[in-house]
């Protein structure tokens, strides 16, 4: 673009901003026809903004909690390691929901998409009920199990109980987003996250530090603020879904349980849930390895991972665009367009992730000091941020291809990829580098980069074989 005449550059820029405005505003766009690059961006822009808002939840919490000290940050980090298991359930269910909704929307069957949506909400409710009860009753035991010190358990058990007890807000926010994304209404999912995050940003400092009329609740206040924000975002999403603000004609009658559809949803979900349980449970093990080196190592690792989430989740949003395009185009009977859409998305995502990696590598220390001044915590965090950023180009490819498998309803292939790369490679490598070769937490950080890069290489090989095009959901 830099070699174009100035007038042409301005014209291109104007066209891009018009596309951004259209993507945010939404509209009745057919993603099974027309220019692929335009379809990718119309879906990816609101999805990236949505995931950016999701990552802001984590960064805002840790920004304010860091003012309470390393033990408070450790409590949040250890809890987050457990919450990732809830995210695994939410994301696994969401992937199958997106795949089935997108396939029916692509086949011009909105009624079928509404039935799938109703079954998904019931599954989310039942799962959240079970997780919530366990979290409230066993919060202290969970923290002890994953290596928390006595001080961290005392300070953080309330935070853990509330975050796990409020898992309904996590599951429903993800499922509603999956429904809207599968339908092509990514802008509605984006607005729900904006609303939820805005409320969390306002309430976090008020409840943590006791500003104005609010009580000072410390780290527990962060959990309450997050759940209130997410809860309001869920209410907005339900209002849009049943108010027929999008492409799916949803009403109360669609909440009736349809055994055949429910069984199919659960069958596809099993692969998605296992896929992310394998991935996220490996992060719990990594946290356990890091916890051996004390609260400062946990705090540095936690802050760095939260910062990484801030960039990974928007890239994941672009990957979700590939999932929707694959599902809708397979539903429309055009697998070649589905494949072309994936490779266009890969190029866009790689450009974004590599650009971000350069910034994180260069400015790692100033970024960490925005959160905390403890030099030991900052040192651990900088190491983590830089090591993980070195593999960003590979991550961009891997996440798009894995989501493309999921969008086709093939949740089994990414499950095997994750099992091999995370449990067969990453965990043994992290333990060996950290403890056997005495690299400490740096060994864990290096293992993350190796495993995530390997995912990309394996995913490219399997995607090119093309078996995902034959999957029926």
pLDDT digits (tens, 9 = 90+) for 97-143: 999 999 999 999 999 999 999 999 999 999 999 999 998 999 888 88
Token pair, residue 431, equals 């333990």
Say whether 13 sits in a helix, a strand or coil: helix
Burial class (CB in 10 A: 0-12, 13-18, 19+), 345: buried
H helices present in 210-246, as ranges: 219-242
Q: Which pLDDT value is given to residue 306?
A: 80
Q: Which pLDDT value is given to residue 362?
A: 95
DSSP state letter for 66: G
Name the nearest CA neighbour of 393 among 356, 436, 422: 356
Asked if residue 182 lies in contact with residue 99, where contact means CB atoms within 8 angstroms, the answer is yes
Stretches where the chain sits below pLDDT 50 are: 1-4
Asked if residue 302 lies in contact with residue 77, where contact means CB atoms within 8 angstroms, the answer is yes
H helices present in 26-35, as ranges: none
Q: How far apart are the first and last CA of the chain?
A: 42
Distance of CA 346 to the CA centre of its chain: 18
Q: Which pLDDT value is given to residue 210?
A: 93
Q: Which pLDDT value is given to residue 20?
A: 79
Question: Where do we find the tokens 């949003």?
Answer: 317
Say whether 34 sits in a helix, a strand or coil: coil
Say whether 58 sits in a helix, a strand or coil: helix
Length reported for the chain: 473
Asked if residue 327 lies in contact with residue 31, where contact means CB atoms within 8 angstroms, the answer is no
Measured between alpha carbons, how far is 265 from 374 in angstroms, rounded to an integer? 48
Asked if residue 392 lies in contact with residue 354, where contact means CB atoms within 8 angstroms, the answer is yes
Asked if residue 79 lies in contact with residue 230, where contact means CB atoms within 8 angstroms, the answer is no
Q: Which pLDDT value is given to residue 104?
A: 93
């Amino acid at each position: 673009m830099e070699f174009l005449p100035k007038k042409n550059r301005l014209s291109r820029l104007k066209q891009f901003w018009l596309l951004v405005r259209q993507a945010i505003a939404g509209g009745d766009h057919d993603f099974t026809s027309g220019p692929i690059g335009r379809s990718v961006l119309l879906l990816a822009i609101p999805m990236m903004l949505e995931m950016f808002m999701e990552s802001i939840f984590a960064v805002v919490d840790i920004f304010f909690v860091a003012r309470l000290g390393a033990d408070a940050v450790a409590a949040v980090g250890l809890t987050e390691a457990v919450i990732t298991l809830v995210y695994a359930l939410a994301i696994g269910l969401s992937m199958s929901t997106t795949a089935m909704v997108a396939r029916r929307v692509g086949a011009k069957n909105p009624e079928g998409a509404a039935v799938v949506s109703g079954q998904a909400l019931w599954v989310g409710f039942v799962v959240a009920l079970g997780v919530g009860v366990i979290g409230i009753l066993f919060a202290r035991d969970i923290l002890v199990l994953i290596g928390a010190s006595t001080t961290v358990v005392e300070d953080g058990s309330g935070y853990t109980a509330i975050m796990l007890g409020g898992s309904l807000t996590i599951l429903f926010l993800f499922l509603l987003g999956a429904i809207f994304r599968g339908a092509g209404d990514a802008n509605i999912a984006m607005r729900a996250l904006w609303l939820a995050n805005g409320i969390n940003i306002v309430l976090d400092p008020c409840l943590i530090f006791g500003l104005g009329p609010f009580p000072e609740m410390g780290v527990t206040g962060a959990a309450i603020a997050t759940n209130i924000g997410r809860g309001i975002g869920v209410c907005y999403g339900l209002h849009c879904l049943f108010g027929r603000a999008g492409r799916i004609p949803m009403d109360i009658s669609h909440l009736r349980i349809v055994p055949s559809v429910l069984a199919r949803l659960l069958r596809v979900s099993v692969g998605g849930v296992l896929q992310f349980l394998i991935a996220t449970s490996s992060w719990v093990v990594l946290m356990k390895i890091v916890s051996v080196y004390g609260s400062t190592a946990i705090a540095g690792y936690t802050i760095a991972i939260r910062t990484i989430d801030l960039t990974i989740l928007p890239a994941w949003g672009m990957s979700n665009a590939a999932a929707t395009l694959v599902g809708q185009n397979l539903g429309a009977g055009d697998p070649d367009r589905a494949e072309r859409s994936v490779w266009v998305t890969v190029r866009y995502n790689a450009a974004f992730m590599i650009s971000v990696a350069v910034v994180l590598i260069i400015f790692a220390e100033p970024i960490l000091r925005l959160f905390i001044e403890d030099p030991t915590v900052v040192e651990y965090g900088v190491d983590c941020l830089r090591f993980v950023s070195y593999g960003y180009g590979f991550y961009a490819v891997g996440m798009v291809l894995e989501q493309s498998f999921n969008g086709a309803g093939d949740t089994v292939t990414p499950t095997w990829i994750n099992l091999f790369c995370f449990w067969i490679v990453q965990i043994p490598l992290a333990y060996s580098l950290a403890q056997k070769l005495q690299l400490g937490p740096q060994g864990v950080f290096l293992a993350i980069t190796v495993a995530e890069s390997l995912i990309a290489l394996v995913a490219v090989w399997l995607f090119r074989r093309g078996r995902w095009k034959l999957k029926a959901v």
